Structure 1
């Protein structure tokens, strides 16, 4: 067995982030506060590279141990590495939005191809079967998820805490539903991010950077697709577990598009950003995200996984309070500075 890899991933990510922090400080790779920032102190960035390297190296061990298939290895490794490379370059020098999105589409197509696209899904009005339409939707889904994860990585600890909650909740649902054969990837990612979080929880001593946030977004998306092939209800459960990020980012995007804003322009109008200013605390918001995941989204996902409610109904029930919360905290409303 390779159970040793999980504590090793925590330690490797923790030590790797420490090394990257020293590197970023020595090279002055810093996030300097500006009018659209949610932090007030210059902070090194790029620590998410530790997550990328530890996770991808461990994938090789999993494939050699027959815990994941060669196709899953190729899909995850290729997509994750390409997205991380784009993010790494963007952390060091700006990459134009059109090239970033093109790269994201290529990475999403690669991952969706090797993981066979979306699993069969009952959408209520349509039963989605594997094919070109399912592949196209899978690509759009992955591109959106990796970008929204980037958008939501704006205060200390929030992106890492979300990833830990989602992955460990996913492991629990796999075990409860008898799908232990797919626990390896989320358990590994959760442990890896946990090591990074030691340095990133409020007050953050290093930021994840685009190299980490984009990587987490596409890897979580690919894991949700893998889960759906194990059991269709699990795909819906992953969408529920990712609800805080999906609802906040999507509602904010719609509001900004309706207003005519440039969607790739930096801003502070997500609900979690408004909340961090309202409470004058990153810690309160990040801990609240953890609490919502455990106390609300995990039970909703549990009901869907075990078949007590349908996927679409469970998703709707889970998302309505999140949407109300996002609207209450002014998601998408432009900040007016006096």
Structure 2
């Protein structure tokens, strides 16, 4: 019964994406390549709405059957809906950055109210309760995560592959570590993304759009906080699993801030974008991200859950090669003409 339900989610996402593609083509909701694009062919956008609907519509059912708490449902349903609507409106027109950011903070605060804020953080074997300071940091964490996911959705399939790898990796570690009650939400999200990925895999026939990328960012952030309430070490697990996106986006942001650039303006100076231009294909970079997730980040995340390696230490070791890759592929540098 469980597997049939998961297949239904994949199918709903698949066919909803197909419908959204037809809608985008009919309404000329198309990404036209320009100097700041990483693609060369006009492509419909907004397909991420399929992920949003496939995931959010299942939440009440999960809650009614006792597989998800009411607090978690309201956190994800409320915050996810706000971010998706903001992204959808921005995909169809334009919303000023300050209003988008205000909506991001409001959605994050709503979610944290239902989750109870930031749980204790485990560091060198000691749990630290940061109280109100922690709650404030958690708001900025969610806002940053949803925006970095938007920034990193720049080549075919990369945002979908990252979400599936992180979610399925977390599910595996939950199962091995005795946290089975946490599996259902990330597993459902992975299935919702899988149905969309068929259309988004290189060469993409539709893009995710801001509605999908921002939604994925905040939901992944909420899943990490949900896990941290079950065990503080699980927050480190999620930060490690999302390392490719966190490192690339953070290094790029810092370098652009140092140069005094407007960070909310479109650009193509992320490491993954330089890499896709260097190799001339999106597919090789997207598959490389999947390989890093599977063969490097997942084992380090597993070390935290299964062998009680300190989460902060594991994160540092896992991130060092990612930082070197970000530097190698010029993250945040100006593109040479």
Q: TM-score, normalised by structure 1?
A: 0.98
CA shift for structure 1 position 124: 5.1
Equivalent in the alignment of 1:170: 170
Q: CA RMSD in A?
A: 1.3
Distance 2:242 2:119 in 1: 18
1:264 positional shift:
0.5
Matches within 5 A, 1:151-170: 151-170=151-170
For 1:70 and 1:177, the matched residues in 2 are separated by 24
| Per-residue deviation, 1:2 | 4.7
Whole-Å separation in 1 of the counterparts to 2:200 and 2:262:
29
Equivalent residue, structure 1, for 2:285: 285
For residues 313 and 226 of structure 2, the distance between their equivalents in structure 1, rounded to whole angstroms, comes to 21
Q: 1:6-57: CA deviations, max 9, x gaps?
A: 1111010000000000000000000000000000010000000000011000
The correspondence of residues 169-318 of structure 1 with structure 2, limited to 5 A, is 169-318=169-318
Distance 1:128 1:50 in 2: 39
Q: Is the 8 A contact 2:125 2:310 kept in 1?
A: no
Shift of 1:222: 0.1
SS of 1:4's partner is helix
The equivalent of 1:119 in structure 2 is 119
- d(CA) in 2 for partners of 1:108, 1:308: 30
Q: Is the 8 A contact 1:43 1:205 kept in 2?
A: yes
Range with greater deviation from structure 2 (301-310 or 36-45): 301-310
Unaligned runs of 5+ in 2: none
Structure 2 equivalent of residue 70 of structure 1: 70
Does structure 1 conserve the Cα–Cα contact (< 8 Å) formed by 2:122 and 2:233?
Answer: no
Could you say if the C-alpha distance between residues 126 and 254 of structure 1 is closer, same or farther in structure 2, counting changes exceeding 3 Å? farther
Alignment deviations for residues 225-265 of structure 1 (CA, whole Å, 9 cap, x no partner)? 01111111111000000000000000000000001110001
Matched, 1:97 2:97: yes
- Alignment partners' CA distance in 2, 1:72 and 1:293: 26
* Equivalent position of 1:47 in the other structure: 47
**Counterpart secondary structure, 1:12:** helix
> How far did residue 306 of structure 1 move?
1.9
C-alpha change, 1:294 and 1:84, in structure 2 (3 Å) is same
SS of equivalent to 1:122: strand
Corresponding residue of 2:57: 57
Moved more, 153-162 or 127-136: 127-136
**C-alpha distance in 2, partners of 1:231/1:307?**
15
Structure 1 alignment gaps of length 5 or more: none
Give SS of 2:57's match.
helix
> Is the Cα contact below 8 Å between 1:128 and 1:134 reproduced in 2?
no
TM superposition shift of 1:117: 1.8
Going from structure 1 to structure 2, the CA distance change for 1:126 and 1:105 (only over 3 Å counts) comes to: farther
Structure 2 Cα separation of the partners of residues 181 and 308 of structure 1: 20
Contact 1:5 1:58 in 2 (8 A): no
> How does the TM-score come out when normalised to structure 2?
0.98
